[in-house]
């Protein structure tokens, strides 16, 4: 559970993601998707501490998070990154003043030089559009290019669990399909487990093994991609059919 002051933002939620699985978490604006991603990546711990030190908002996080058999609740986000939990945040948050190559190199701070080189080649192979943009400053990239860069940067950190927070937000259907295909490839080729949030389930649902529907911070439904798409309430609320 996560409270912002007395506001319950995540309520009694139980999400699991097996190794090499893609799990989708779908919900409308303010359903709690980013709160969930911040909580899993540990950034919520940093936000909570900073707010407490500054005498600001009182944030309460309750419950347990387990990763590869370890209890990581309360673990700092930097340590979670070191054990393989990497967040690709909502609205990309690339380093806007740095070039594409610099953004990717910054992402590799946890990797050996050999791994960094190998992953850099992998990222450029997966997103050839970035090859010619190596020297381009991040802030001058289109939304889709920024998202490719953000995913590339997250891969450079050698994730075991990749958290993708609304990667398709505001992008064209064509770019969305490039990113959905890349997400599946990352799981298939790199063996990375992935939790992906989106407002609209339709573009992502074909690649998810399991899905949760989030409403007001609670998972109101869960099941295989097929279960979710066949549920009449979900169909009308999230697919407009
Ligand atoms: P969106 O799609 O708009 O990003 P979301 O599903 O990611 O939405 P969250 O950002 O997790 O939702 O927000 C969940 C709820 O918590 C919302 O009602 C939001 O207003 C509230 N909230 C988020 N961050 C804070 C904060 N720092 N202080 C107070 N309330 C917050």
Distance 130 CA to ligand 1 centre (A): 32
Nearest residue (by CA) to ligand 1, atom 29, is: 4
Alpha helices in 24-159 (DSSP H): 33-41, 43-53, 77-82, 100-107, 113-126, 143-156
Q: Using the CB atoms, write b or e for 46-78: b if 16+ within 10 Å.
A: ebbeeeeeeeeeebebeeebebeeeebeebebe
Q: Which residue has the higher pLDDT, 28 or 240?
A: 28
Task: Please check the confidence at residue 103 and state whether its pLDDT lies above 60.
Answer: yes
Mean per-residue pLDDT for 215-237? 83
Higher pLDDT, 234 or 151: 151
Ligand 1 center to 205 CA (angstroms): 23
Asked whether 119 lines ligand 1 (CB < 6 A), one says no
Q: Provide the token pair at 224.
A: 């295989």
Q: Does residue 91 surpass a pLDDT of 90?
A: no
Return the pLDDT at 166. Answer: 96
What is the reported pLDDT for 225?
84
pLDDT of residue 139: 94
* Distance between CA atoms of residues 89 and 76, nearest Å: 17
Give the pLDDT score at 6.
82
Q: Count the residues in the chain.
A: 241
Pocket test for ligand 1, best of 1, 2, 7 (most atoms within 8 A of CB): 7
Q: Is the CB of 90 under 6 A from ligand 1?
A: yes
Please return the burial class of 192, using the count of CB atoms within 10 Å of its CB with bins 0-12, 13-18 and 19+: buried
- Kindly report the CA angle at 237 between 26 and 162, in degrees rounded to 5? 10
Does the CB atom of residue 51 touch ligand 1 within 6 A? Answer: no
- Cβ(39) to ligand 1 under 6 A? no
Choose the weakest-confidence range: 38-42, 135-139, 165-169, 216-220: 216-220
Give the atom of ligand 1 at the shortest distance from the alpha carbon of 47.
Answer: 27
- Count CB neighbours of 117 within 10 A: 12
Q: Where are the domains of the chain?
A: 94-158
Whether residue 241 is predicted with pLDDT greater than 60 in this model: the reply is no
What is the percent of the chain where pLDDT is above 90? Answer: 79
pLDDT, tens only, 130-154: 999 999 999 999 999 999 999 999 9
Distance from Cα 143 to the centre of ligand 1, integer Å? 22
Give the CA distances from residue 213 to residues 4, 205, 238, 240, in Å, rounded to whole numbers and listed in that order.
21, 12, 9, 15
pLDDT score of 8: 87
Q: Is the pLDDT of residue 240 over 60?
A: no
pTM: 0.94
- Given the CA of residue 36, which atom of ligand 1 is nearest to it? 11
Confidence at residue 237, expressed as pLDDT on a 0 to 100 scale: 66
With a 6 Å cutoff on the Cβ, whether 35 touches ligand 1 is yes
pLDDT at 236 over 70: no
pLDDT at 128 over 60: yes
**CA–CA gap between residue 38 and residue 43 (Å, rounded):** 5
Task: Please tell me the distance between residue 178's alpha carbon and the centre of ligand 1 in angstroms.
Answer: 28
**Burial group, residue 112, by CB count within 10 angstroms (0-12, 13-18, 19+):** exposed
Average pLDDT of every residue of the chain: 93
Residues forming beta bridges with residue 163, ordered by sequence position: 87, 195
Mean pLDDT to the nearest integer, 96-118: 94
pLDDT tens column, 152-202: 999 999 999 999 999 999 999 999 999 999 999 999 999 999 999 999 888
Does the Cβ of 7 fall within 6 Å of ligand 1? yes
Give the position, in ligand 1's atom list, of the atom nearest the Cα of 10. Answer: 14
């Amino acid at each position: 559970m996560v409270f912002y002051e007395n506001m319950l933002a995540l309520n009694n939620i139980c999400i699991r993601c097996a190794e090499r699985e893609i799990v989708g978490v779908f919900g409308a604006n303010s359903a709690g998707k980013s709160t969930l991603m911040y909580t899993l990546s540990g950034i919520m711990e940093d936000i909570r501490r900073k707010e407490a030190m500054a005498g600001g908002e009182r944030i309460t996080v309750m419950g347990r998070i387990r990763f590869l058999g370890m209890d990581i609740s309360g673990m700092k986000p930097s340590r979670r990154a070191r054990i393989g939990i990497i967040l690709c945040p909502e609205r990309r948050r690339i380093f806007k003043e740095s070039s594409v190559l610099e953004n990717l190199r910054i992402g590799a701070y946890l990797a050996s030089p050999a791994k960094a080189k190998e992953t850099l080649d992998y990222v450029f192979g997966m997103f050839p559009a970035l090859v010619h943009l190596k020297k381009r400053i991040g802030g001058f990239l289109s939304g889709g290019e920024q998202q490719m860069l953000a995913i590339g940067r997250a891969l450079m950190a050698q994730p075991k669990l990749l958290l993708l927070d609304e990667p398709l937000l505001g992008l064209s259907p064509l770019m969305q399909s490039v990113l959905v295909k890349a997400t599946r490839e990352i799981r298939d080729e790199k063996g990375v487990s992935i939790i992906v949030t989106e407002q609209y389930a339709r573009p992502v649902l074909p690649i998810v093994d399991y899905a949760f529907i989030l409403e007001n911070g609670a998972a109101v439904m869960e099941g295989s991609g097929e279960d979710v798409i066949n549920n009449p309430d979900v169909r009308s609320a999230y697919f407009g059919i």
